[in-house]
Amino acid sequence: MKKENTNPLWTRDFTIITLGSVVSMVGNSLSGFAMSLMVLDYTSSSLFYAIYIMVFTLPQLIVPVFSGAILDRFSRKKTIYTLDYISSILYLTVGLLLFNGWFNYPLFALFVFILGSIQSIYQVAYQSFYPMLISEGNFSKAYSVASMLESVTVFIVPVSTLVYNVFGIGPLMLANALCFFIAATVETRIKTEEKYVTDQKATEEKNKIHQMLSDTKKGFEYLWQEKGLFFIALYFLFSSISGGASNVIYLPYMKANFAHGEYYYLLFGGFMMLGRVITSSWHYRNKLPVNKKFLITFIVYTTLSLINGALLYLPLTIMFILGFIQGCMGVTSYTIRISATQSYVPDEKKGRFNGAFNMLSVLGCLIGEGIAGVLSELMDMRLVVVLVEVVVFASAVLIMGGGRKSVAPIYNREQ
């Protein structure tokens, strides 16, 4: 008879990291979308808006690789709360300036570039530290909690839009500064020891730059040696192309083809988030069959490509229903993948793996955005999505299906 897991999920440190992440996510939800609206309002230029998006995204292509190597030899906890304090100071400074009506696009772009760099480092640190606070046997449950909370905070965006339209961007930036300060202060209370830092000192070199480059190289070597992880990361390079293309096409298409299409776009996203929240809560209470996890994710990956390819050809009602289904399926595959990989990779190598994985995902997103932007000028937007999804579907079959013998042992484990 199978022994039940008796380890509690809600330990002191897990509760603290969850509370801290909720506070910072709330702050980002309050200010993130409002910042985009402000750029459009001040510049009245789609070009400047595109530059704003790219300036934030570009650091996320390069920074994670090197930060991952560094964070395998440095305290991730200190990195997390230090970056949150720095973010608090940045938002406070810029918030006070904007509160008084000041706006300068080049300086604001520099601020956004710094934010993108900070987020790149923070994401790798958080992804590598979070699994260290999860008790054995509770990985799937923990990541279902994280996914549910992330989805719920998205519903704050309409509130931030209302506050922005009434009071402007200043109060939202100041509120985000306060959220980051609270999150950082809470995170300093985490007591989990990072033993990997001590273990790694035995292999430290005097030349820190050479050390960083050497560790970065070893990170890619590790990814190559671990064929299962390599296939997963490679597939998500292609999967992210779909996400990038969707970012460029969905909103413009709906605005061009439906009256008040931007509201239908938000409603579609709302149905997707609802699916994520409901399914995340189900995963918190229930466990999937261990030996079926790879099969489930493979079905999800291929089915989502088919849905995405057909979506823009369908009536709105069916689109909303499929959006809900996408949310349910997406969070299921996410929970399986993130809990499997983070419980599989050793603590001392998590930073390098997450850095490389994030770099490939961002690269895929940028490729998708570029391809969709160019092809949308030459052909029907819906056909562009179809072509992209054909490539993503083929990558799921060839990479994940072809690499089943290497990937399945990572997915089909008790986590």
User: How buried is residue 377: exposed, middle or buried, by Cβ count under 10 Å (0-12/13-18/19+)?
Assistant: exposed
Distance CA 229, CA 345 (A): 9
Neighbours of 306 (CB within 10 A): 11
Query: Each residue of 98-107: pLDDT tens digit?
Result: 887 788 888 8
Query: Each residue of 102-147: pLDDT tens digit?
Result: 888 888 889 989 998 998 888 888 888 898 899 888 888 898 888 8
- Taking 80 as the threshold, does the pLDDT of residue 6 lie above it? no
Residue at 246: amino acid letter:
S
Query: What confidence category does residue 255 fall into, taking pLDDT thresholds of 50, 70 and 90?
Result: confident
Q: What is the mean pLDDT of residues 349-354?
A: 81
In degrees, rounded to 5, the angle at the alpha carbon of residue 121 between the alpha carbons of residues 266 and 124 is 80
- Taking 80 as the threshold, does the pLDDT of residue 51 lie above it? no
Tokens of 370: 């570029």
Confirm if 143 and 334 have CB atoms less than 8 A apart.
Answer: yes
Helices (H), 188-292: 195-200, 208-225, 227-257, 261-285
**Radius of gyration for the chain, computed over Cα atoms and rounded to the nearest angstrom:** 21
Tokens of 274: 């609802």
Confirm if 243 and 392 have CB atoms less than 8 A apart.
Answer: no
- Taking 80 as the threshold, does the pLDDT of residue 279 lie above it? yes
Sorted by sequence, the CB contacts under 8 Å of residue 340 that are 6+ apart come out as 139, 293, 410, 411, 413, 415
Confirm if 241 and 392 have CB atoms less than 8 A apart.
Answer: yes
> Distances from the Cα of 221 to the Cαs of 136, 242, 344, 352, in angstroms?
28, 27, 16, 10
- Taking 80 as the threshold, does the pLDDT of residue 244 lie above it? yes
Min mean pLDDT across 185-189, 320-324, 360-364 is at: 360-364
Q: What is the mean pLDDT of residues 219-240?
A: 88
The phi and psi torsions of 313 (rounded to 5 degrees) equal: -90, -5
Taking the whole predicted model, whether its pTM rises above 0.85 is answered as: no
What local confidence, expressed as pLDDT, does residue 99 receive?
81
Confirm if 326 and 304 have CB atoms less than 8 A apart.
Answer: yes
